[in-house]
Amino acid sequence: MLYPIESESREVKDLSGLWNFKVDKEDEGLYNKWYMDRLKESIVMPVPASYNDITTDASIRDHIGNVWYERTFFVPDSWRDKLLMIRVGSAAHHAILWINSIEAVRHRGGFLPFEADISDMVKYGEENRVTVCVNNVLDWTCLPTGEIKTYNDEKHPAGYKVQETYFDFYNYSGIHRPVKLYTTPKTYIEDIKVTTDICGVDGVVKYDVVVKGENISVLLCLSDETGSIVAEGTGSSGSLMVSNAKLWQPGKPYLYTLSVKLTDTSGKVVDVYRLPFGIRTVKVEGSKFFINGVPFYFKGFGKHEDSDIRGKGLDEVLNVRDFNLLKWIGANSFRTSHYPYSEEIINLADQEGIVLIDEAPAVGMCLWNDDEKIFAEDRINANTLDHHLQTIREMIARDKNHPSVVMWSVANEAATNEEAALPYFTSVVNELRKLDPSRPVTIVHTVDAARDKVSQLFDVICINRYFGWYIDHGVTDFIEKQMDSELLAWHKKYPKPIIVTEFGADTVAGFHQIPPVAFTEDFQCEFLEQYFKSFDKFDFVIGEHIWAFADFATKQGLTRVIGNKKGVFTRQRQPKAAAYLLKARWTKI
């Protein structure tokens, strides 16, 4: 799936802005066909944004079910002989979209784009209407998984409903990424796939172009950052050589552009798409992770798409700030915990040379209770797996060409100690490797090595550990020893590279105490230093990702005082004391 761009043959119209919005409090909109007409008694709502924190009304923030968005747009007459697509960057979590009352597309899953050909649904040279019904209910048939709990007891109003989630971030809802219209010619480039290799000092660029239409020739032209042409080719698949290639390297990115042109039998150019990409290789060998043949050590964070007021809505200002902070602190990577982030963020990572572990939205697959199984007929079952596989397909379709994406993560903290987790993740990993044999695959663990049943499937082991926080809370003295024995146990069972993808302590900015106690900035510093003592002993530890980059919103809970405060930066993206400690460490490694 290609990102919508403009070219001499393509136009893009961004429908971001203020839309009409209505909460479907009685769950009647579908039944009463609200899509047939303008929404009545709507309020104004920005797109993209989560709707939860924008109004002052708790019943909107906490709504479980459908909400409706609507706006009008104009389609110029000049688009009549083109193909017109509508593309939603993401809508959390499920959506149905109508154009002028005609259903155009439905989609499940809140973190990946979907699109539809609406050429036959719009009125050219006239005003049109787009209506989107967005649903935020999570159950066992989707990712992330969740369940609705309904209370029928004397302590609650009859039928009182709660959306139960098993993950630790606020269930922000709404249209989170831009809605765009884009045109292509009727004969067009549907997809491009690029994989790269290095041969001595040269780069090898393998490409596959999917074309819609017949009697068409495919021309390829590869240019460097100055715009100079470095290779040319023809045909819908093949490979191009770039002599003396400049590699895409962590911290030193270099992007080439592959221009794909379609020409008709008379030689006239029909469609043009320019794809930025980097030449680089990724490989796991022994207990090392190599980028371009050089061992790579992951320094960075687990993050969230999260900020004040706009929740999970795309915010380019915030994103650029985040990348500036990552560079300032000496980080080279992050994990898109716990879902695929916006394409705009991944584009930034390509441009800024930040390495990504791209994670599927499979989070909350653990009940933290050994007496109950989550991989079970009435919970994570064949329907969940179907959706997981679909999500993997969509994630790879979207992100396959990004040099910054060096590894896929199939899930965060699943109950991989359960028997049924093995066949489940075997299917997921098989699908992933079939679609993309070029990148290593990982899973992020909470279980310990002795109980894990799935890690033989993966190239890299990722573990999250909270010694001194959830275990022996407030005691930093044994962290080093606890971490040592943990790492050695994993390494003994699976001699593979290990990244510690989460370790962190809630820290309220401005709290200080000496000797340190939990929740102070002093504690966060002392806590992190103990982990580093352990990591630095083992060469199979190939990375440290602190939980978390910034403070973020969670559901309300006894251990969360207005959100999770494990950020090294505040939610407003200002440093806590630990940021200086990390900067000192990471600029040296």
297 binds ligand BDP (CB under 6 A): no
Q: Which of 115, 305, 394, 413 is catalytic?
A: 413
Q: Which of 305, 418, 480, 502 is catalytic?
A: 502
**What is the Cα 103 distance to its own chain's centre?**
27
Among 532, 564, 569, 582, binds ligand BDP (CB under 6 A): 564
Q: Quick one: 306 or 350, whose CB is closer to ligand BDP?
A: 306
Q: Residue type for 574, please? A: Q
Closest to 568 in 3D by CA, of 502, 475, 474: 502
Give, in order, the Cα–Cα distances in Å from 26 to each of 43, 60, 67.
Answer: 17, 13, 11
Q: Is residue 367 within 8 Å of 166, Cβ to Cβ? A: yes
Q: Quick one: 221 or 508, whose CB is closer to ligand BDP?
A: 508
State the minimum distance, in angstroms, from the CB of residue 347 to ligand BDP: 25
Q: Quick one: 168 or 271, whose CB is closer to ligand BDP?
A: 168
486 binds ligand BDP (CB under 6 A): no
State the minimum distance, in angstroms, from the CB of residue 444 to ligand BDP: 7
Q: Is residue 148 within 8 Å of 139, Cβ to Cβ? A: yes
* Cα–Cα dist 90/136, whole Å: 12
State the minimum distance, in angstroms, from the CB of residue 113 to ligand BDP: 24
* Cα–Cα dist 373/453, whole Å: 14
State the minimum distance, in angstroms, from the CB of residue 560 to ligand BDP: 9
State the minimum distance, in angstroms, from the CB of residue 352 to ligand BDP: 25
Q: Quick one: 92 or 132, whose CB is closer to ligand BDP?
A: 92
Q: Is residue 506 within 8 Å of 554, Cβ to Cβ? A: no
566 binds ligand BDP (CB under 6 A): yes
412 binds ligand BDP (CB under 6 A): yes
Reduce the secondary structure of 129-196 to three states and give it as a string. Answer: EEEEEEECCCCCCCCCCEEEEEECCCCCCCCEEEEEECCCCCCCCEEEEEEEEEEECCCEEEEEEEEE
∠ Cα 512 514 515 (to 5°): 135
413 binds ligand BDP (CB under 6 A): yes
State the minimum distance, in angstroms, from the CB of residue 400 to ligand BDP: 26
502 binds ligand BDP (CB under 6 A): yes
Q: Quick one: 30 or 367, whose CB is closer to ligand BDP?
A: 367
Among 168, 271, 431, 486, binds ligand BDP (CB under 6 A): 168
544 has catalytic annotation: no
The residues pairing with 160 across neighbouring beta strands, listed in sequence order, are: 151
Q: Quick one: 413 or 418, whose CB is closer to ligand BDP?
A: 413
Question: Hunting for tokens 């992190």 — which residue is that?
Answer: 528
Q: Quick one: 338 or 496, whose CB is closer to ligand BDP?
A: 338
DSSP code string of 256-279: EEEEEEEE-TT--EEEEEEEEE--
502 has catalytic annotation: yes
Q: How many CA atoms does the CB half-sphere of 530 hold within 13 Å?
A: 24
Q: Quick one: 287 or 476, whose CB is closer to ligand BDP?
A: 476
Scanning residues 328 to 387, which ones bind ligand BDP (CB under 6 A)? 338
State the minimum distance, in angstroms, from the CB of residue 572 to ligand BDP: 19
CB-nearest residue to ligand BDP = 168
* Cα–Cα dist 475/468, whole Å: 5
The residues pairing with 277 across neighbouring beta strands, listed in sequence order, are: 256
State the minimum distance, in angstroms, from the CB of residue 376 to ligand BDP: 21
551 binds ligand BDP (CB under 6 A): no
Number of shown-chain residues binding ligand BDP (CB under 6 A): 11
* Cα–Cα dist 153/176, whole Å: 36
Q: Which two tokens stand for residue 496?
A: 């593979």
20 binds ligand BDP (CB under 6 A): no
Q: Is residue 389 within 8 Å of 382, Cβ to Cβ? A: no
In the stretch 228-257, what mask flags binding to ligand BDP with x, by CB under 6 A? Answer: ------------------------------
* Three-class secondary structure of residue 227 per DSSP: coil
Q: Quick one: 165 or 342, whose CB is closer to ligand BDP?
A: 165
11 binds ligand BDP (CB under 6 A): no
State the minimum distance, in angstroms, from the CB of residue 81 to ligand BDP: 49
305 binds ligand BDP (CB under 6 A): no
- 202-212/188-199 β-pairing: antiparallel
Closest to 267 in 3D by CA, of 230, 234, 229: 234
* Residues 569, 575, 581, 583, CA torsion sign: positive
Scanning residues 504 to 543, which ones bind ligand BDP (CB under 6 A)? none
Give the 3-state secondary structure percentages of the chain, helix then strand then coil, rounded to 5.
20, 35, 45
416 binds ligand BDP (CB under 6 A): no
Among 464, 476, 507, 520, binds ligand BDP (CB under 6 A): 464
547 binds ligand BDP (CB under 6 A): yes
Q: Which amino acids are annotated catalytic?
A: 413, 502
Site residues, ligand BDP (CB under 6 A): 167-168, 338, 412-413, 446, 464, 502, 547, 564, 566
